[in-house]
Each structure stands twice: as structure tokens, then as C-alpha cells.
């Protein structure tokens, strides 16, 4: 957070954590900490960044949005 007492500074990360919790963590039974780390890495790397549509990016995944940006 950049300013003391400003609840909107961290809104993007709070939104991400909510998504991670509801779409991955709450739905899984991890065997141990290593399994949890692997599955969460997979969720972020494969699903969240490559498949999941993000309304703030015009309903495209972040990888596709970045590719469009860099090709323009």
C-alpha cells in the first residue's frame, strides 16, 4: 500500500487473492505444502494467465493482452 489508510491501493491484489481462493484453493485437497505450491503455480501459470478471461483487459487472458500490446 502506498498510503496509510487508503483501502483502494491494494484492491488489485485483494481481487486476485479472492479469485485464487475461490477458484483454486477452496476446491482442492492438497497432499502437502509442496503439492499446494505446485498446484497454485499451475493455476496461475496455465489457467489464470493463459485461459481465464479478465474483464479489465477486454475479456482476454493476460498473455493474449500482452501479446497484442507488444505487437502493436
Cα gap 47→52, rounded to integer Å = 6
| CA 16 centroid distance within chain | 5
Helix spans in the chain (H):
11-23, 33-42, 62-71
Q: What are the tens digits of pLDDT across the range 21-66?
A: 999 999 999 999 999 999 999 999 999 999 999 998 999 999 999 9
Domain layout of the chain by residue ranges: 32-72
In this prediction, residue 8 carries a pLDDT of 74
| pLDDT tier at 2, thresholds 50, 70, 90 | low
Residue 1 has pLDDT above 60, yes or no: no
Amino acid at each position: 500500500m502506498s498510503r496509510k489508510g487508503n483501502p483502494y491501493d491494494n484492491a488489485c491484489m485483494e481481487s486476485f487473492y479472492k479469485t485464487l481462493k475461490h477458484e483454486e484453493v477452496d476446491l482442492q485437497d492438497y497432499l502437502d505444502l509442496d503439492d499446494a505450491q505446485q498446484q497454485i503455480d499451475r493455476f496461475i501459470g496455465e489457467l489464470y494467465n493463459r485461459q481465464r478471461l479478465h474483464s479489465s483487459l477486454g475479456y482476454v487472458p493476460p498473455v493474449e493482452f500482452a501479446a497484442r500490446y507488444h505487437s502493436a
